[in-house]
Amino acid sequence: MKPIKVGLLGLGTVGTGVVRIIEGHQEDLQRQIGSPIEVAQILVQNKSKSRDVAVDSDKLTESPWDIINNPEIDVIVEVMGGVEETKEYLLSALNQGKHIVTANKDLMAIHGPEILLKAAENGCDVFYEASVAGGIPIIRALVEGFSSDRITKIMGIVNGTTNYILSKMSQEGAAYAEVLKEAQDLGYAEADPTSDVEGLDAARKMTILSTLGFHANVSLGDVNAKGISEVSKEDILYGKKLGYEVKLLGIAENHDGHIAVSVQPTMVKNSHPLSSVNGVFNAVYIYGEAVGETMFYGPGAGGLPTATSIVADLVAVVRNLKLGVNGRTALAPYKEKKLKTDEQITSKNFILLHVEDKAGVLAQITQIFAQHEVSLESVLQHPNANNPKAEIIIITHDAIQASIKKVLKQFESMDVIHAIKSVYRVEG
């Protein structure tokens, strides 16, 4: 039987995982797809570098075009990363009728629509399960498992690096900078951690999930992203005291076609399962009108887990190939995108203030919430013996975001309020 030939762009951790799974599970894969599957050519940066996995040196190339222009290659697996150049490679491969499996969330979040359109024009598949939440089959769940339902909310921990940092800060009472350094030493965070810690990586994943879940073309610019670099160990400590863990959550909501997507450090009630997702694990909650609430949990990164998703996509491509239906299973977004305004976004909030420690201040503060029709779930005042200022923690009921912004603006101009130390969304 003629083998299916795969061209692999990239042989880092994930690429190595792909080679390992295709070789190690060859017999099972043949049963799944009805023919052998072979990594026929591999793009590397340096052919002479030593490798963690045994690969025939004849298969290595330093030029992507050797693979893209190779007529024998049926499917391209892209695990090299990068955006603009990589896009050119993939568009060119699609023009030559090659199917694509990619783990590249940056590319799919930014150029997904263009790539998927090109795929449709050429009757090709583009699958990208590995681009979100590593080994968790979350895209399949959204696209197929809940094809019958209307998704109202997707909420998840989709970045392992920041979850590792926040988990450590919570468990050890350590400061952000200290744990970031440790994560970098362990290889859990990049030398330049901006994309992870400022929430950009999570924003890209939420772009992909909300586009699929809500059937509207959500773009990266629609996601309101805030990272964890300002989360203090005091915030985490206060959260704990009140029964919350700080987690970087991606939250996508859809009410009657009005969409809001954000990434932000969030106080998650410790009775909610997301509060106990620790370390580099990922978890995604999906709420559907009919199904109610569901959760998907698993490894968010790592060579083999991510490669599991990639090779599962490869199996799907080859099954389609055998059935002659490539390029015919994707569903383009069909809903008009209407973004929520601040008047339409509601949530609970956690607000920590430093205030003048004198009579009447609390009354003044609660009065301002009342003016803007924000009702309060709890107010905790913390007198500080060493300090003339007191700390007040306020947890609101569900409140309109625009109203909260007005309240905070008014606080800024009040002499008795020394500082708005922190403001978090509250979930769970």
Interface with its own copies by CB under 8 A: which residues? 17, 20-21, 25, 28-29, 31-32, 129, 135-137, 140-141, 144-150, 215, 273, 276, 288, 290-299, 302, 304-305, 307-312, 314-316, 319, 323, 325, 328-329, 331, 334
- Tokens 């909030």 correspond to what residue? 349
User: Can you spell out the DSSP letters for 250-318?
Assistant: EEEEEETTEEEEEEEEEEEETTSGGGG--TTEEEEEEEETTTEEEEEEEE-S-HHHHHHHHHHHHHHHH
Q: Which residue has the tokens 């020394």?
A: 418
Between 67 and 314, whose beta carbon lies closer to its own copies?
A: 314
Task: Report phi then psi at 255, rounded to 5.
Answer: -120, 115
What angle separates helix 84-95 from helix 105-121, to the nearest 10 degrees?
20
Pairing type for strands 376-382 and 281-288 reads unpaired
Least separation in angstroms between residue 53's CB and its own copies is 14
Cβ proximity to its own copies, 10 vs 17, nearer residue: 17
The single-letter DSSP state of residue 220 is G
Shortest CB 4 distance to its own copies, Å: 13
- 205 among known catalytic residues: yes
- Say which residue the tokens 């350590």 belong to: 174
Looking at beta carbons only, is 61 or 217 nearer to its own copies? Answer: 217
Q: Which amino acid is at 337?
A: K
Please, what is the minimum distance in Å from the beta carbon of residue 215 to its own copies?
7
Residue 40 tokens read as 């026929």
Quote the tokens at residue 10.
């990239």
**Largest Cα–Cα separation, the chain:** 85
Helix (H) or strand (E) holding 50: none
Q: How many CB atoms lie within 10 A of CB 384?
A: 11
Q: Strands 346-356, 417-427: parallel, antiparallel or unpaired by DSSP? A: antiparallel
d(CA 39, CA 25): 13
Among 105, 168, 205, 247, the active-site one is 205
To its own copies, the closest distance from the beta carbon of 92 in angstroms equals 27
Q: Choose between 146 and 411: whose C-beta lies nearer to its own copies.
A: 146
Q: For residues 81 and 298, which CB has a smaller minimum distance to its own copies in the complex?
A: 298
215/425 with CB nearer its own copies: 215
Smallest gap from Cβ 299 to its own copies, in A, equals: 5
Give me the least distance between CB of 210 and its own copies, in Å please: 16
Active site residues: 205
